[in-house]
Amino acid sequence: MKREVIRVEPLSTYLERRKAPTSVVTRSGDTIYVSGLPPFEPDTGEIADAPFERQTELVLEQMRLCLETAGSSLDNVLKCNIYCTSVDKISAVNAIYARYFPKDPPARILVCVPAWPGRFDIEIDCIATPGLVGTIPDAIADPTLPGMDGFRCAPRVRSDDQYRDGGRRDRRAAARRRASAARARGSGAGPSQRRPRRLALTRRGLRR
């Protein structure tokens, strides 16, 4: 199955500045893969020199932006992988993480790592399926922390008209398939038994 690379701005540009050999989001079939990213400052693209709690919110906001750009949402995450530099901060990670996954959270693993060259403390990647933006509230991030609006993304929700149009198309296609099958049964010939229409060349032209 072909892999699709999905650009997520401004994050894709931030990675290209650092010549990182990775894509922010890839998709294959019905599976979406979101890379673990450093906590970027929304306004500058620099790695945030910030407390651990704000770094955690930044990477989760970035992950949410990636999912929504790819046509998914936090509700559709199957698994998260969390990497952080201190076991002492796990309770702080869990408190912030629970705001983004308040109900039926996805599968998860948390690994402590020595350090990154960028002097940040946390990364989170995830695997998700496509789907509509769910009931996750827009204002998850702590409003007292500066710069959190830089990663806001308009939810990609299909309208009621799009749902109705899609349903009509599906029903019409199903009706055509049933009619075709009924004609095949009535003629006593299956698809493999039908003789193709041939054209014969005569002196007066083409004859069917």
Residue 34 phi/psi, 5-degree rounding, is -110, 125
Q: What is the CATH number of the domain that holds 101?
A: 3.30.1330.40
Which has more confidence, 162 or 18? 18
Provide mean pLDDT across the span 184-195. 55
195, part of any domain: no
CA distance 166 to 164: 5
Which has more confidence, 194 or 74? 74
Give the strand pairing for 122-128 and 77-84.
Answer: antiparallel
Contact (CB, 8 A) for 89 and 121: yes
173, part of any domain: no
122, part of any domain: yes
Best-predicted range by mean pLDDT (2-6, 150-154, 162-166):
2-6
Which has more confidence, 111 or 180? 111
- Predicted confidence band at 115 (pLDDT cuts at 50, 70, 90)? confident
pTM score, whole prediction: 0.64
Which pLDDT value is given to residue 197? 47
131, part of any domain: yes
CA distance 48 to 41: 5
The overall average pLDDT reported for the chain is 78
Tokens of 98: 């629970």
116, part of any domain: yes
Provide mean pLDDT across the span 69-83. 96
CB atoms within 10 A of CB 85: 18
**Per residue in 132-159, pLDDT tens?**
544 444 444 554 554 445 554 433 333 3
Domain count, the chain: 1
Q: Residue 60 pLDDT > 50, yes or no?
A: yes
183, part of any domain: no
Contacts of 67 (CB under 8 A, 6+ apart): 32, 34, 73, 74, 76, 77, 126, 128
Which has more confidence, 174 or 77? 77
Which pLDDT value is given to residue 16? 92
200, part of any domain: no
Question: Distance between the two ends of the chain, CA-based, in angstroms?
Answer: 42
Contact (CB, 8 A) for 73 and 67: yes
- Nearest CA to 97 among 136, 50, 155? 136
Range of 18's domain? 4-151
199, part of any domain: no
